[in-house]
Structure 1
Amino acid sequence: MEPITILWADDEIESLQSQILFLESKGYQVKSFASGFEALQFVDDNAVDVVFLDESMPGITGLETLTKLKTSHPNIPVVLITKNETESLMDEAIGSQITDYLLKPVNPNQVLLCLKKIIDNKRLISEKTTTAYQQQFRELFMAFNNNPDYKDWAEIYKKLVYWELEMEKTDSAEMREILATQKQEANTEFSKFVTKKYAEWVKPAAADTPIMSHDLMQFKVLPHVEKGTPLFFVLVDNLRFDQWKAIQPLFAENFRILEDETYYSILPTATQYSRNAIFSGLLPVDIEKKFPEQWKNDDEQGGKNLYEEVFLNALLKRLKKDDLKVSYNKILTYADGLQLVNNIHNLLQNDLNIIVYNFVDMLSHARTEMEVLKELAADEASYRSITRSWFEHSALNQALKKIAGKNIKLILSTDHGSVRVKTPCKVIGDKQTTTNLRYKHGRNLDYNPKEVLAFKDPRQAGLPVPTVNSAFIFAKEDEYLCYPNNYNYYANYYKNTFQHGGISLEEMIVPIIKMVSK
């Protein structure tokens, strides 16, 4: 392995011989120069791993050298060494993308520690992450085999997401594989738990149930509405908890996060069920009863999410909050996004502003169909990365930045998540059977009862009965439901795509985040 090469530029380089000899004794190769000009010429012609720059050199200063160096070699780490502790100098140096700075006189151990942070940082973090996860592995395993309730499952999932994000810092493919297996085992146990409990949760006046889609407005959004302080409730369709964690740092630049929580999406974890339940405050079976003209089942013609604002107004009236000044904004296109950016200040006049943003859902569907997106979002980490990149450059982020300094409240949530599917399961049905991959309803469904959660009477799941004798089935864990005809083609086509509608930690336990302006 080649030794690490350090370039050290200082007009008093002779006085630094003891530090240079110390570094060489530790296996580093040090090239020393008395001016910025010589340093720049050397970097242009030779490979360098780290540059140490004296700030106050004659001829060309350290900051001037730094600017030229970053223009031609932006990725080389640079440590500025200075006698000057003024804040303005530090600001200028940090703004010029220094990696670190040291104050004169420097001692050899300071220099060594600085190098370890720069050169060995990734390796040290990787080793620490691996060790820490190994210590938590048994604790997590015991947690999901110790009869957890719905609150425990939310905490288990948060911890698994935490480790999934931490594992991005490690090079250990083996540890990532162990974590993936543990998450798979957690999903197996979670699916058993939901299978056992779900019918109880959706019974009228059920006790000790999680906050679910139809409870969200009443218990997690409307209690925070306060006259004189506009509340923005932003619902990003199909945003998983790990995707929220990927974009959290971007929110944290402008907002203070007060609550970082989760709630449970109803089944099916699909937009026309969960989002209509959110804005109506009702389970789908009750939406159909109260709004027979507006409710559409999967097999009926027409848009399934056209009446959310109607449902919301009815909910506000039922809760005696119809005196609130409310706006409802649905962002489906790029033009809608630009309109939101231009109109965001006008929304400050309202008590409650609903913004439904439909990007992540489109991303998951497009990834199924488009080869280029399969490549870009090949796995969980890249799926998170695309979500972060989208949000960073989105109209939603621009709009929120425009009101970030105002006296507002912000609640971010979603209607459901998605799961990467890997295991095909055969289902036989008649022509009326729906085509969804994570749930189906229809008459005469034939399936393996061990592979799905089935409701022969959909009302037991809080769902309408689309046709007489129509049953609902839900895929668990990483399964997806395929018909026998052309089975191998569809099994291969949909394998490793992100789907929703069924039972998994990723689909059901989703973020609800409360923030205020900094």
Structure 2
Amino acid sequence: MSQINILWVDDEIESLKSQIMFLETKGYKVSALTNGYDALEFLKEQVVDVVLLDESMPGITGLETLGKIKEIDQQIPVVMITKNEAENVMDEAIGSQITDYLIKPVNPNQVLLSLKKIIDNKRLVAEKTTIAYQQEFRSLFMALNSNPDYNEWMDIYKKLVYWEMEMGKTNSPELLEVLNTQKAEANTEFAKFISRNYASWVSPKAKEAPVMSHTLFRDKIVPSLDSEVANFVIIIDNLRLDQWKAILPIFLESFRLVQEDTFYSILPTSTQYSRNAIFAGMLPVDIESRFPQEWKNDDEEGGKNLHEEHFFADQLRRLKMDTRFSYTKVTTHNDGQHLVNNIHNLMAYPLNVIVYNFVDMLSHARTEMEVLKELAADEMSYRSITASWFEHSPLHQALKKISEKKINLIIATDHGNVRVKTPIKVIGDKQTTTNLRYKHGRNLNYEAKEVLAFRDPKEAGLPRPNVNSSYIFAKEDGYLCYPNNYNYFVNFYRNTFQHGGISLEEVIVPVARLVSK
């Protein structure tokens, strides 16, 4: 590690010589000055890693010096050292973006600890993360090979997401590669697990099944509603668990997390199926039976999610919930601004449902637009762009406007998505659907081991669009391509984020409850 340059500014610098010598024995290079004016001139000429700054100096105070230091270099870490314990001084210093705050008299180890925290933080975190994952690797391996049930699969996926996000702190491509290999093995086993169990979960005679799209409202959301306050149920379309974890800290600035959980999206893991199932509280085959005019199959004209409010009202009646509710769908920026302007009016309703479509649009736009392929090139950058969107979104603005009120907030999604890498050749007639992660049609030709197939759609709780229609679902990171123009489509869609199939990222998705602080 190259030598670290410290600038220590204190009008009583002579009394700090022993402390400076102590830091120099630890390998730091320390420049000492007695006033703010000299410090500012020094910083214009020299590169400094950390400034130790006395708050009470004659001429120009520490706080005034701090403001001018930030004008020179916004990023430079500054540690304020002062005799003054007054709260207003601390508040002003913290508001001026100091990195740390020490009260005089300080001992040498106190200063050393502060410097280590600032300078060595990333390295120490990376080392600790590496050791911790190496210890966890075997227990994850054992869990994957012990025939996990649906609850254990949720735990495994949560751990994989945790480590994937921790790896962002290590800057270790080798370690990330090991984790990605373990994640790929997990997806292979998960696809086998879903293939063995899915039909029994959605069977009318199912004895045991995880909470899924069509039981989410009844089993997870209804028990979380609070009759004393306004309830907001927000469905953010196409939000993976890791993306939720990326935006959670922004929520926590205004709200307190009460409960965080996951549930299983139905197949296909796509908006038309899974979100309609959430609002109707039914599997698609039952929605088609109860609402033959409203249900639209993939190959039919018209929007596929135009009747969510109607489906939801029907579900409330079946659950014997006589509750006034509002339904808001946001698909454009104007819709978002209307939500910001109207959010206070929604407080009059006991239950408010908001569907927010941005993340799904981001996923589709990333496939088509080269600039977004660069901005969201992998999972880490995809999380980052999602967090950036949410922080500046109308949804965040709207929620901040009511965060001071007593509200109950439930965040969920309909399905996730996966980055596809492995092309799977499929042959079908003109009626075959165009989705990359699932298809249905009458004459599908495919390699049986590469997909999960339902020759009878009712076994999967799905409508039969045509006589002899069957459904197939891509597994792991596969995507379904036709033989014509095969190489073009393989290259165009490789490494894009898609949904509709079977992977941990698409199927196991977040639901969380937050309340006002």
TM-score by length of 2: 0.99
Matched position secondary structure for 1:80 = strand
Q: Which runs of 5+ in 2 are unaligned?
A: none
Is 1:121 aligned to 2:128, yes or no?
A: no
**CA displacement at 1:224 relative to structure 2:** 3.4
Percent sequence identity over matched residues? 69
Counterpart of 1:73 in structure 2 is 73
Separation in structure 2 between the aligned mates of residue 226 and residue 480 of structure 1, nearest angstrom = 42
Counterpart of 1:476 in structure 2 is 475
Counterpart of 2:457 in structure 1 is 458
Counterpart of 2:381 in structure 1 is 382
Separation in structure 1 between the aligned mates of residue 33 and residue 357 of structure 2, nearest angstrom = 56
Counterpart of 2:157 in structure 1 is 157
Separation in structure 1 between the aligned mates of residue 106 and residue 344 of structure 2, nearest angstrom = 52
Q: Which letter maps to 1:397?
A: H
**CA displacement at 1:2 relative to structure 2:** 3.8
Is 1:369 aligned to 2:368, yes or no?
A: yes
Separation in structure 2 between the aligned mates of residue 504 and residue 103 of structure 1, nearest angstrom = 53
**CA displacement at 1:226 relative to structure 2:** 4.2
Separation in structure 2 between the aligned mates of residue 21 and residue 71 of structure 1, nearest angstrom = 30
Matched position secondary structure for 1:450 = helix
Separation in structure 2 between the aligned mates of residue 515 and residue 8 of structure 1, nearest angstrom = 44
Aligned residues: 517
Q: Which letter maps to 1:476?
A: K
Residue-by-residue CA offset, 1:265-284 (whole Å, 9 max, x unaligned): 00000000000001001100
Separation in structure 2 between the aligned mates of residue 58 and residue 77 of structure 1, nearest angstrom = 23
CA contact (8 A) 1:265 1:510 kept: yes
After the TM superposition, which residues 230-309 of structure 1 pair with which residues of structure 2 at under 5 Å, given as runs? 230-309=230-309
Matched position secondary structure for 2:428 = coil
Q: Please identify runs of 4+ aligned residues in structure 1 that moved more than 6 A.
A: none
- Higher mean displacement: 227-236 or 117-126: 227-236
After the TM superposition, which residues 123-142 of structure 1 pair with which residues of structure 2 at under 5 Å, given as runs? 123-142=123-142
CA contact (8 A) 2:5 2:30 kept: yes
Separation in structure 2 between the aligned mates of residue 111 and residue 308 of structure 1, nearest angstrom = 59
Residue-by-residue CA offset, 1:205-241 (whole Å, 9 max, x unaligned): 4112000000011111223334442110000000011
Separation in structure 2 between the aligned mates of residue 56 and residue 33 of structure 1, nearest angstrom = 14
Matched position secondary structure for 1:51 = strand
Is 1:487 aligned to 2:491, yes or no?
A: no
TM-score by length of 1: 0.99
Q: Which letter maps to 1:140?
A: L
Matched position secondary structure for 1:454 = strand
**CA displacement at 1:444 relative to structure 2:** 1.2
CA contact (8 A) 1:225 1:351 kept: no
Counterpart of 2:176 in structure 1 is 176
Separation in structure 2 between the aligned mates of residue 345 and residue 165 of structure 1, nearest angstrom = 35
Counterpart of 1:434 in structure 2 is 433
- Higher mean displacement: 101-110 or 164-173: 101-110
Q: Which letter maps to 2:394?
A: A
- Computed over aligned residues only, the root mean square deviation of the Cα atoms, in angstroms, reads 0.9
CA contact (8 A) 2:226 2:408 kept: no
Q: Which letter maps to 1:121?
A: N
**CA displacement at 1:395 relative to structure 2:** 0.6
Separation in structure 2 between the aligned mates of residue 343 and residue 5 of structure 1, nearest angstrom = 53
Matched position secondary structure for 1:349 = coil
**CA displacement at 1:63 relative to structure 2:** 0.8
Counterpart of 1:9 in structure 2 is 9
Matched position secondary structure for 2:127 = helix
Separation in structure 1 between the aligned mates of residue 222 and residue 14 of structure 2, nearest angstrom = 69
**CA displacement at 1:184 relative to structure 2:** 0.7
